[in-house]
Each structure stands twice: as structure tokens, then as C-alpha cells.
């Protein structure tokens, strides 16, 4: 080290003495040092590269060895036997509010094969195809004669099939005990129950896990051995649910609708007594999720909860109630309804011309968009937003089924004054029928918020107060008048004093704009109107009927008659006695003028 | 003759490009890459069919695409491998800048294809993942910096390249794409190691990793659970790993037969991250060992050739490229056999994927360009009496 710098220094001094340029020597010196460094670096890198190469080689060798090890081991018989102990067998039942069974378990067997033990693979395959015609004989022969050591043939077989397979008498065919989920009522309440399928599967047992509905939400509860098999009690009433499904199905067919939904809710407890979405499915044989077409056309789609629609004029009562709550109007305040109402480039029109001015009650009874929009202008966007939020219309429905996470309402991106005006009559906001039922329940029970639930409750909910009892009563009076003298005259069911509001909203096209020949027709009602016990919301998807020489699509002609028939059938089942309506109801409005 | 004497006709001074290329290129590595690409197509025939069916394309839609992209990748590889190291460096630095800018623009113009991480630019017919192109570019830039730092009076290249690596790692981690970030860090580390990292530092680093790992294991429950899940020999057969493990077992030594495999129907990533499982199931251990041998020979051979290299830049850049290529394959296969914790990473040249193929082609082309036989001063050394 010492010699390298010294020698050139000597050379440089020497060169200086001779009058030569020392820079050349300096450069040469640098070059030499550089070369030496490079050689050193190269020698070091040589060693390190060798180390690196060996490391890479070893790593690859380890991977190869591990591959070899795995390849030479047996494939797991779908589950190691040791872990079978972890599979919890018993799954608790699900019952309705009166303890009637909605879902229970059923013992059955699975069928599997161990080809190495098989004696006559060809005959076995032939016999199996005779018992299970959906199996493919060639495929079975191939599997049985190939290298496979294990294969499942059927996940669930009936006792008769089991006996028949047993009679084949081949030692290569084996049975595993299974417990399967059974829904004895078939399609009934299919969207609430959801369905179950096998989870971890072993030879000795298989775990049944919920895949949708309450089965999935309460999966842990139903499987928890600590609960001691206590059944899960729902708020549904089997009888009411069955009747509702039948009536709604008939109504859907009569009104040529492609789908329908209904929600029947106890206004005090928030319990959902019946919730129907048509078309439905059989949870015993749950269909696969659709891979083509719109997902909301699938029978799996729960229209009552997942289906967020613009529900149209049913929203008007919220606007009227809020305007009264804020003291801006009373039921007989007269509002200018001269149309069309212009707002920027938008025009708001009524279905018919209802004259230059109407009272608030009449606005609801006639269903005037202009009048409601004027009320919304008086209320303002911010206060409207708060009110709807307090009714629970701005968040997803807190219902105990997994599908409830798909019920997030569609709200306008910015809540401008024009959105406030359209939202006042139910356009520009999409909520599910379940949301609407809960909001109507708040009006029906005297003004406190209701959160819908599918679990049986014993006590009423005392939710946050949304409006005063007086405003709620006045709103109910208006709803009653909609039936007695307004758009929902078909809803009159003698003895049950139905009050409600119709709503017909044009369906939005998937790419923007609205269809002019497809509507969502909704009727949100409560009965008996003077002291409501239940709220019933009926929604028909694209109904169309022919009456009085015209094609009718509005709710008054479609959803209302269906709802009336449902009330007619369900109210007695719910234990409500037909009552003579108290006479004063009409009288109070007269004197309050 | 007159023209030649007076230079009116341009005369090629050196050897023609193609013969020279063929004489000097590493033909073994070249063949290995070609075979890997062929295997990729063969496996694509099996593994991409379920995906094509799911997306309503013809059964071999993805195979055709793979063939087209693969052809482009091979051409890119050949062209790159014919360049001189200096030209490669210039172009790679430009490419690195372009890819870096593209990564910066990702949050504004990129898409995530519903996978939760914004890593791609959508071009309509195909998508581009700029981080794939960034890797080889970064290796070259970092190697250039480190090589420059070995000059007398050179810039502080090692620290500069570390800062650059840090910036890129942060950018990638923000996407988030920890896999690529780890690859970049690993590439830098290998280059630093070869460029002469002090031994003490290496020992201290190893110690820190052990300490940090055990600290994380003891203090973070999440981390501990992942490691436990990885160490636990029992794997849930319904996870991707479980399917992959079972597929390898089903395959045995000679496979269940071409097209007979089942795993591709249950694994969503059968055509990318778990293609080795498809290979193991249908063709058995034999093909898997062949694939491993191909990767090993590409990496080890390239490193051995670089041992003789005199130019520090070429040595470092080649090492970085070979290491990233090799470790990516290693991680992919290591995950499938559960030697490594789950991490999505493609198998270079075999997995399906347009931009990863073309970027891989360019990277391997660079590697080939760097490992070409060139005079290493042997004659000089003989003259100086130091020849061997």
C-alpha cells in the first residue's frame, strides 16, 4: 500500500526537474490504481457470485425435493380423519314466531368410492347409473379403473338409494353419514331462510354451513354447541307468510307483473310478520347464482330487501308530515299547485290537472307532484335530508339476513334544491320496500322510529321520536282519505279501515332515462287507520292490466287491489277483528278547518 | 477495388451482427427460455380454458393471446440481446424513466380491474403493468450507479441507488404491490452484495432480520397467525393453497394425464399464480422438475458467466436481472409447495399475462446481452504475465 503512491511522487518530482508534464504520470497512476481496484473487485465478486449461484441452486433443489415429496405422498381423502372431530354435526332448527319448524336437519348418507378396493368396476358403474341416471357411465368406468384412490359419487342419497347401492355389494363403494338441512315448507320464506350447503367435508361427517339469509347471518349461533341446540325463533308467522305468498302470487299473475314483493310489519315491535319476494326458489335445492342476465331477475334476488326502487308518490306523506311537524302548514293550508312548476330547465307536472290550488290534505289525496314539490321548497334540502335519515331511509336496512347489505339506498350525489323537490314525491331516491315499511310504521305507531327485525320480540321498540303524535295522527288521517276519496279507492276493505298511499314510478333504463311503459307500482298501507297495528307494503314490478277500455299501469289499478286482497286475507289470520270505523275520524277534520 | 480503397463503398469494419451474436450469445440460456415459453403455451392449453369459458370466449382464446404476446416477447428478447451493453444501458435508463413516470401517473389514470390495487393502465385490448417494466430498468440504473461509485472520484452511487430503491418501494407499496416492492429490494440487495457489501454489515443485517422476525412474531398477533398458518402442516383444502397442494399430490410422478386435471376448475388463479399446480397435476413431477431445472440453469449459468466478467456495470446489472428472474420463479413455486407464505407472483414466461411476458422478454434479452462472450482482457493478462 505504501509503495504505490510514493513511487509516482518520486517520478513526478523527477519529471518536474526535467521540465516534463507530470499530468501524464498522474493519469497513468490513476489508471493503474483503477485497474488494480477493478481486479480486486472482480476477484471478490467472483466469490460472491459463486455463493449466490450455489444459493440459488440449493433453493431450487429444495423446491424440487419438496415437490417430489409432495408428489409421492397420498392425496388427502378430502379431509384428514383427524380433523373430522372438529366438524360440528348438529345445527339448530329455525322456527317461526309460534314455534313451527322452518328449517331442521335430516339424516342421510353420502356415497364415495375407493377404486383400489373395487372388484368389478365395470359392473359397479353400470349398476350405479341404473340407480342414479344422472351419472355418466363412461366417466365412472374411467375413474374406477384409473389411478384415483378416492372419489365422491353422491353427496346426499335417500335410504332407498342407499339400500340399492348396498345391494350392488362391492367393497369399493362406501357410505359416509351425513346430516343435511331440510326446509319442510319448500319455497315458503325462501328468501329469509336462504339455504345451507356442506362446508368442510370428511368421510365421517360434513359440516353444514349457511350460505344465505338468516342461515348465514346466524351461522355461528346455529352451530354453537354451547347453545344446546336452542332453535332460532323468527318473527315470521308461517300461516300468514303462506297466505301472503299465495295471494301475492295470484295478484302478480293477474296484473301481468314480472315480479312482486310485500312486507307485513308490526308497527310497534318492528317485527316482520311476513316478507315475500316473487319469483322465489326452493332452499332445499338452492339454484346457482345466475351467470347471465340481470341479477335482479334471478329468483335468488330478494326484491323486498335488495330491490332498491324509486317508490314514487308513497314518499309524499313524509313531505307532508315534515311540513306539518315544522309548523309550516296544517292539513288545510292551501298551496299553489298551478302547473307546470318550472325549476331551471326542469318542469314538474301532475298526472292530471288538479286546479290552481289545493289544501295539503288534497295534495296527498290527489297525489299532486307540484304541491309536494312546493312543500319541499318550504322545508329545504337540508332539513328534508335529516328527516329522511331519521326515518332510516338513508342507510341500509338493519335486517338480519346477509342480503340486507345489498339494500343500501341510492341517493342523489348532491342534495340540491331540485333533488329535494323530486325526492319529495319519491323520485331521485331509491329504497327497498322494507325501508318504506319501516318508515310507514313510524307514522303508524305515533311517530317513533322503527327498525325492522326478523327475530321475535316481546316488547315494542321505543325508538327515537321522528314526529309528534299529533302530526302522525294527522298524517294517518290523510292516508285514510287517500283510500276513502283518493287514488286508492280499491283498497277499501270493510271493517279494517285501511289507510295508505299509492306510488307509481317509471322504471329507470339501465343506461339513463326512464321507460314510459314500465313502472314499479307500490301501495304502502296500514290498518286499521285509526289505531294501526300493521303496515303492509306491496310492490309490483312492471304490472299491466286492462280496465275501463285502457291499459292501466298505475298503482291504483294494480298494486292497490292486490294489497286489498292481501289485507282481506291476512287481517283475520293476524287476529284482528273487523271493526266499525269510529265516526269521528271524518268529523275531526271538519271541525279543525 | 478502387471504391474500397478510397472508401466510396461503406465497408463493414467488424464482424456482421447476426453471426457475431450467434457466436457470442449464451445459447443454453436462450434455449432454456424458448423451452419455458413452449411449456407455458402447453400449460395454457390446459389452465386457461376454464377462465375463457367463464368469460365467454373461445376455449383457447387466452392461449392465442399468450402466443401473440409471447411472440412479441421473444422478438423483443432477441432484439435486446443483440444490442451492445452501452446501448442497453442507454435504452434501459430511458425506459426506466418512462416506467417511473407511468407509475407516478397510476393513481390518476390507472385502473384496478376490481382487484383493489391500482397497478394497471387499461389500453382497451390489453392492460399494461408499468411496474413489470420498471424492474429491469431499475436494475440497470442501480447497477450503473454502483459501478460508477467504484471509479476513483466517482459519485456515491451505492447510497444514491439505495435512495432510488426506497422511493420505488414506497411507490409500489402505496399501490399496494408488496410483491414487486420486495423484488426490487431483493434485486438491489443482491447487487449491493456482489458490488462488495462489507461482511460486518451482512452479519448485522442477518441478525436484525432474526431479531425483528421474532419480535414481530411475539408482538403482532396477525403476523404470528400468518406464520403459524404457514408452519402448520394441515392446510384447509378449500383454500387456493389447499387445492394446489392436493393437485400436486394427485399428479404424482407422471401426472393424471393431459387435460384430465381438476384443479384448474377450482383455482381462480390457475393460469397465473398457480400454474405450477396445473403442471404438477396433469404432467406430474417430471415436468415440474424439468421446469425447475430450466429456471435453475438459466440463473446459475448466467451467474457463472458473469463471474468471468471484467466490467463492473455489466456484472452488476446481469446479476440483478438474473436474481430477480430467478427469485420470482422461486417464490411462485415455493408458494405452491408451501415452502413460502402465500404471495401472488407470476412464473416468468410460463404464467399467462401480456405485460409480464413482454417485460420478461426484455429483461431476459438484457441478461443475454450482458452475458454474451466478450474479450475479458485475457491476452492483456498473458502479456503482463498474470494469465491463467
pLDDT tens by residue, B201-241: 888 988 888 888 788 777 767 667 666 666 665 566 666 77
In the DSSP assignment, the letter for residue B350 is T
Which of A48, A74, A79 is facing B237, going by the closest CB pair?
A79
Chain B residues touching A30 at Cβ < 8 A: 152
The reply to whether residue A68 touches residue B296, judged by beta carbons under 8 angstroms, is no
B307/A45 CB distance under 8 A: yes
Closest Cβ opposite residue A45 in set B234, B315, B338: B315
Name the residue among B150, B196, B330 with its Cβ closest to that of A60. Answer: B330
Residue closest to A214 by CA, chosen among A93, A89, A394: A93
Establish if A57 touches chain B: CB-CB under 8 angstroms.
yes
Among the partner-chain residues B195, B303, B337, the one whose CB lies closest to the CB of A66 is B337
CB pairs under 8 A between A and B: 126
SS (H, E, C) A458-481: CCCCCCCECCCHHHHHHHHHHHHH
Q: Using DSSP bridges, classify how beta strands A334-336 and A309-310 pair: parallel, antiparallel or unpaired.
A: unpaired
Could you give the C-alpha distances from B168 to A100, B177, B179, B361, in angstroms and in order? Answer: 63, 11, 13, 22
Nearest-Cα distance to chain B for A107, in Å, is 24
Q: How far apart are CA A503 and CA A313, in angstroms?
A: 4
A117 in helix, strand or coil? Answer: helix
Q: Nearest CB to B194: which of A48, A68, A75?
A: A48
Residue A291 DSSP symbol: S
> Residue A309: phi, psi to the nearest 5?
-125, 160
Write down the ipTM of this complex: 0.88
Residues facing A74 on adjacent strands: none
Give CA separation, B272 vs A233, A565, B76, B352, in Å.
47, 58, 22, 5
Closest to B277 measured CA to CA, from B225, B307, B235 = B235
- Phi/psi for A138 (5° steps) reads -60, -45
For B109, the enclosing helix (H) or strand (E) is helix B85-109
Residue-level pLDDT, tens digit, chain A, 593 residues:
445 555 667 778 888 888 888 888 888 888 888 888 888 888 888 889 999 999 999 999 999 998 888 888 766 544 433 333 444 557 888 899 888 999 888 888 888 888 888 888 888 888 888 888 888 888 888 888 877 778 888 888 888 888 888 888 888 888 888 888 889 888 888 888 888 887 777 766 777 888 888 888 888 888 777 777 788 899 999 999 999 999 999 999 988 899 999 999 999 999 999 999 988 889 888 888 777 777 777 888 888 888 888 888 899 999 999 999 998 888 888 888 887 788 877 888 887 778 788 888 888 888 888 889 888 888 988 899 899 998 888 888 888 888 888 888 888 888 888 888 888 888 888 999 999 999 999 999 888 999 999 988 888 888 888 899 899 999 998 899 888 888 888 888 888 888 999 988 888 887 878 888 888 999 999 988 888 999 999 999 999 888 888 888 888 889 999 999 999 999 889 888 887 765 555 545 544 44
- A70/B312 CB distance under 8 A: no
Q: What angle do CA A470, A471, A476 make, to 5 degrees?
A: 100
Task: Tell if the CB–CB gap between A56 and B252 is shorter than 8 Å.
Answer: no
The per-residue pLDDT for A84 is: 39
Is A73 an 8 Å CB contact of chain B?
A: yes
Q: Which of B70, B85, B50 is nearest to B316 (CA)?
A: B85
The verdict on A32 touching B (C-beta cutoff 8 Å) is: no
The closest alpha carbon to B296, from A55, A62, A60, belongs to A60
Cell for B381? 493478462
Domain boundaries defined on chain A: 1-36, 91-233, 240-286+299-591
Beta bridge partners of A499: A526
CATH 3.40.710.10 for domain A240-286+299-591, yes or no, is yes
Q: Does A38 reach chain B within 8 Å, measured CB to CB?
A: yes
Look-up of cell digits 307483473: A257
Q: How far apart are CA B128 and CA B355, in angstroms?
A: 5
**Cα gap B256→B262, rounded to integer Å:** 10
Q: Between chains, do A66 and B323 touch, taking CB under 8 Å as contact? A: no
Do B119 and B177 meet the contact criterion of CB atoms below 8 Å apart?
Answer: yes
Q: Which residues of B touch A202 (CB under 8 A)?
A: none
Q: Hey, is A263 helix, strand or coil?
A: strand
Q: What is d(CA A318, CA B73) in angstroms, rounded to the nearest whole number?
A: 64
* Cβ contact, residue pair B303, A83, below 8 Å: no
**In terms of CA atoms, which chain B residue is nearest residue A54?**
B300
Which residues from A are below 8 Å from B256, CB to CB? 146-148
Q: Which three cell numbers stand for residue A315?
A: 314518499
Partners of A448 in beta bridges: A465
Cross-chain Cβ contact A74/B292 below 8 Å: no
The answer to whether A447 touches A469, Cβ cutoff 8 Å, is: yes
Single pTM value for the model: 0.53
CA B174 to chain centre: 21
A 475-504: CB under 8 A from B: none
Fold of A91-233: Penicillin-binding protein 2a (Domain 2) (3.90.1310)
Amino acid at each position: 500500500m505504501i509503495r504505490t503512491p510514493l513511487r509516482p511522487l518520486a517520478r513526478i518530482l523527477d519529471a518536474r526537474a526535467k521540465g516534463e508534464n507530470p499530468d501524464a504520470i498522474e493519469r497513468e497512476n490513476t489508471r493503474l490504481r483503477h485497474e488494480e481496484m477493478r481486479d480486486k473487485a472482480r476477484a471478490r465478486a467472483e466469490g460472491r457470485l459463486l455463493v449466490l449461484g450455489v444459493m440459488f441452486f440449493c433453493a431450487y433443489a429444495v423446491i424440487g425435493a419438496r415437490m417430489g415429496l409432495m408428489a409421492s405422498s397420498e392425496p388427502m381423502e378430502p379431509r384428514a380423519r383427524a380433523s373430522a372431530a372438529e366438524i360440528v354435526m348438529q345445527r339448530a332448527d329455525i322456527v317461526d314466531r309460534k314455534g313451527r319448524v322452518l328449517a331442521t336437519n335430516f339424516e342421510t348418507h353420502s356415497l364415495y368410492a375407493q377404486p383400489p378396493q373395487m372388484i368389478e368396476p365395470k359392473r359397479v358403474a353400470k349398476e350405479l347409473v341404473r340407480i342414479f341416471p344422472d351419472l355418466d357411465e363412461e366417466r365412472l368406468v374411467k375413474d374406477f379403473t384409473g389411478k384415483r384412490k378416492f372419489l365422491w359419487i353422491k353427496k346426499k342419497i335417500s335410504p332407498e338409494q342407499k339400500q340399492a347401492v348396498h345391494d350392488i355389494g362391492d367393497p369399493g363403494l362406501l357410505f359416509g353419514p351425513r346430516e343435511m338441512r331440510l326446509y319442510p315448507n319448500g319455497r315458503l320464506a325462501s328468501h329469509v331462510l336462504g339455504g345451507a350447503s356442506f362446508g368442510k367435508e370428511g368421510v365421517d361427517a360434513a359440516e353444514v354451513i349457511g350460505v344465505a339469509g338468516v342461515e348465514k347471518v346466524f351461522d355461528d349461533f346455529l352451530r354453537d354447541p354451547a347453545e344446546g341446540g336452542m332453535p332460532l325463533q323468527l318473527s315470521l308467522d308461517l300461516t300468514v307468510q303462506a297466505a301472503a305468498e299465495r295471494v301475492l302470487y295470484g295478484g302478480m299473475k293477474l296484473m301481468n307483473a314480472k315480479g312482486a314483493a310485500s312486507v307485513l310489519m308490526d308497527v310497534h315491535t318492528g317485527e316482520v310478520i311476513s316478507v315475500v319476494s316473487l319469483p322465489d326458489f326452493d332452499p332445499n335445492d338452492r339454484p346457482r347464482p345466475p351467470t347471465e342476465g340481470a341479477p335482479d331477475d334471478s329468483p335468488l334476488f330478494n326484491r323486498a330487501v335488495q330491490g332498491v326502487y324509486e317508490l314514487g308518490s308513497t314518499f309524499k306523506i313524509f313531505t307532508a308530515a315534515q311540513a306539518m311537524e315544522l309548523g309550516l302548514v296544517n292539513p288545510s293550508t292551501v298551496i299553489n299547485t298551478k302547473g307546470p312548476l318550472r325549476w331551471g330547465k326542469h318542469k314538474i307536472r301532475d298526472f292530471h290537472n288538479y286546479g290552481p290550488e289545493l289544501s295539503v290534505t288534497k295534495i296527498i289525496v290527489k297525489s299532486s307532484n307540484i304541491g309536494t314539490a312546493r312543500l319541499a321548497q318550504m322545508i329545504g334540502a337540508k332539513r328534508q335530508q335529516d328527516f329522511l335519515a331519521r326515518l332510516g331511509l338513508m342507510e341500509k336496512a338493519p335486517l338480519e339476513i346477509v342480503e340486507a347489505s345489498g339494500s343500501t339506498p341510492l341517493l342523489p350525489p348532491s342534495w340540491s334544491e331540485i333533488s329535494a323537490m323530486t325526492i319529495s314525491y319519491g323520485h331521485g331516491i331509491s329504497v327497498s320496500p322494507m325501508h318504506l315499511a319501516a318508515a310507514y310504521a313510524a307514522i303508524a305507531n305515533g311517530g317513533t322510529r322503527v327498525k325492522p327485525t326478523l327475530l321475535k320480540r316481546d316488547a315494542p321498540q321505543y325508538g327515537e321520536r321522528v314526529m309528534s303524535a299529533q302530526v302522525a295522527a294527522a298524517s294517518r288521517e290523510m292516508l285514510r282519505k287517500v283510500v276513502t276519496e283518493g287514488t286508492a279507492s280499491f283498497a277499501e276493505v270493510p271493517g279494517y279501515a285501511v289507510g295508505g298511499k299509492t306510488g307509481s314510478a317509471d322504471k329507470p333504463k339501465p343506461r339513463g332515462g326512464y321507460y314510459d311503459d314500465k313502472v314499479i307500482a307500490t301501495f304502502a298501507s296500514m290498518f286499521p287507520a285509526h289505531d294501526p297495528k300493521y303496515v303492509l307494503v306491496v310492490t309490483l314490478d312492471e304490472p299491466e292490466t286492462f280496465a275501463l277500455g285502457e291499459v292501466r299501469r298505475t298503482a291504483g289499478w294494480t298494486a292497490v287491489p292486490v294489497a286489498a286482497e292481501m289485507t282481506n286475507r291476512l287481517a283475520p289470520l293476524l287476529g284482528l277483528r273487523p271493526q266499525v270505523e269510529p265516526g269521528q275520524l271524518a268529523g275531526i277534520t271538519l271541525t279543525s278547518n | 477495388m478502387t471504391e474500397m480503397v478510397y472508401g466510396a463503398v461503406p465497408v463493414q469494419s467488424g464482424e456482421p451482427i447476426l453471426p457475431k451474436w450467434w457466436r457470442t450469445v449464451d445459447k443454453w440460456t436462450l434455449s432454456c427460455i424458448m423451452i419455458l415459453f413452449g411449456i407455458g403455451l402447453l400449460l395454457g392449453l390446459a389452465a386457461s380454458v376454464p377462465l375463457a369459458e367463464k368469460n365467454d370466449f373461445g376455449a383457447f382464446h387466452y392461449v392465442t393471446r399468450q402466443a401473440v404476446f409471447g411472440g412479441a416477447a421473444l422478438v423483443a428478447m432477441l432484439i435486446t440481446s443483440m444490442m451492445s451493453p452501452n446501448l442497453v444501458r442507454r435504452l434501459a435508463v430511458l425506459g426506466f424513466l418512462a416506467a417511473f413516470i407511468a407509475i407516478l401517473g397510476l393513481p390518476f389514470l390507472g385502473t384496478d380491474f376490481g382487484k383493489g390495487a391500482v397497478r394497471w393502465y387499461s389500453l382497451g385490448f390489453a392492460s399494461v403493468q408499468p411496474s413489470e417494466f420498471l424492474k429491469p430498468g431499475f436494475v440497470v440504473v442501480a447497477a450503473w450507479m454502483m459501478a460508477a461509485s467504484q471509479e476513483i472520484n466517482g459519485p456515491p452511487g451505492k447510497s444514491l441507488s439505495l435512495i432510488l430503491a426506497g422511493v420505488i418501494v414506497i411507490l409500489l407499496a402505496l399501490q399496494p404491490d408488496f410483491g414487486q416492492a420486495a423484488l426490487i429490494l431483493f434485486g438491489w440487495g443482491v447487487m449491493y452484495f456482489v458490488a462488495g457489501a462489507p461482511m460486518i454489515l451482512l452479519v448485522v443485517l442477518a441478525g436484525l432480520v432474526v431479531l425483528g422476525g421474532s419480535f414481530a412474531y411475539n408482538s403482532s398477533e396477525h403476523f404470528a397467525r400468518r406464520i403459524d398458518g404457514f408452519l402448520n402442516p394441515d392446510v384447509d383444502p378449500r383454500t387456493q393453497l389447499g387445492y394446489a397442494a392436493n393437485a400436486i399430490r394427485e399428479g404424482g410422478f407422471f401426472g393424471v394425464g393431459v387435460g384430465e386435471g381438476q384443479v384448474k376448475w377450482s383455482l381462480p388463479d390457475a393460469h397465473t399464480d398457480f400454474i405450477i399446480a396445473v403442471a404438477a397435476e396433469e404432467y406430474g413431477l417430471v415436468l415440474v422438475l424439468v421446469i425447475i431445472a430450466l429456471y435453475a440453469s438459466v440463473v446459475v449459468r448466467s451467474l457463472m458467466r458473469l463471474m468471468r466478467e471484467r466490467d463492473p456495470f455489466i456484472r452488476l446489472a446481469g446479476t440483478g436481472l438474473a436474481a430477480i428472474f430467478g427469485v420470482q420463479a422461486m417464490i411462485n413455486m415455493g408458494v405452491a409447495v408451501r415452502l413460502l407464505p402465500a404471495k401472488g407472483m407470476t412464473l416468468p414466461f410460463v404464467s399467462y399475462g401480456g405485460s409480464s411476458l413482454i417485460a420478461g422478454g426484455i429483461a431476459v434479452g438484457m441478461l443475454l446481452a450482458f452475458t454474451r462472450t466478450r474479450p475479458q482482457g485475457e491476452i492483456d493478462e498473458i502479456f503482463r504475465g498474470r494469465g491463467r
